[in-house]
Amino acid sequence: MLPPVWRDLVKNEVTVEAKPVGLWTKVCDYIEAPLKLRIEAKGTWKITGDEECGPDGLRTHWPADSLLTSVPAGALIGMIGGSPAEKPGEKSTVFSVGSYLVLCPADTIRGALYLTMNDSVARFEEHSGAVTAKLQIAR
């Protein structure tokens, strides 16, 4: 089997604000499976005044009311479908990104691609900073 041939999904790295206008930062208008999605993220952001972390989040903090409870607070997460203003729901697919991810979404997955910091919605106003992400796809 040949390795994937990656191409940029967006021309430049994407800045993902810790405190976006909604809950999510839109990365691109539309992606549709089947495809392979690779995301590499770097940088640091703050959950609160002194709690700084990178895109892998704080291993010591797992809020039960976070957007994605299977990953720690501060981790970079993604969503395909839905709206930048909504919590994950039936119309979207949410996944952990961290500092590195290769994802092969199910063939039924399609929609806008979003990224954000994982945390409780009530704490989003305390966030600051940003991380950057490089996004690539292969078919």
Asked if residue 79 is part of any domain, the answer here is yes
pLDDT digits (tens, 9 = 90+) for 15-36: 999 999 999 999 999 999 899 9
8 pairs with which residues across the strands?
136
**How many domains would you assign to the chain?**
1
Cβ atoms of 127 and 117 closer than 8 Å = yes
> What integer best gives the mean pLDDT of the chain?
93
Domain that holds residue 57: 7-138
Q: Tell me: pLDDT of 139 over 80.
A: yes
- Range 46-72 burial, b when 16+ CB lie within 10 A, else e: bbeeebebbbbbbeebebeebbbeebb
- Specify the range with the lowest mean pLDDT, choosing from 34-38, 48-52, 67-71, 123-127: 48-52
CATH of the domain at 129: 2.60.120.430
Asked if residue 109 is part of any domain, the answer here is yes
Asked if residue 113 is part of any domain, the answer here is yes
The rounded percent of the chain whose pLDDT value lies above 70 is 100
Cβ atoms of 7 and 135 closer than 8 Å = no
Provide the pLDDT for residue 115. 98
Asked if residue 59 is part of any domain, the answer here is yes
pLDDT digits (tens, 9 = 90+) for 82-127: 899 888 877 789 999 999 999 998 888 999 999 999 999 999 999 9
Asked if residue 20 is part of any domain, the answer here is yes
Asked if residue 1 is part of any domain, the answer here is no
Provide the pLDDT for residue 88. 81
Provide the pLDDT for residue 47. 93
Provide the pLDDT for residue 80. 94
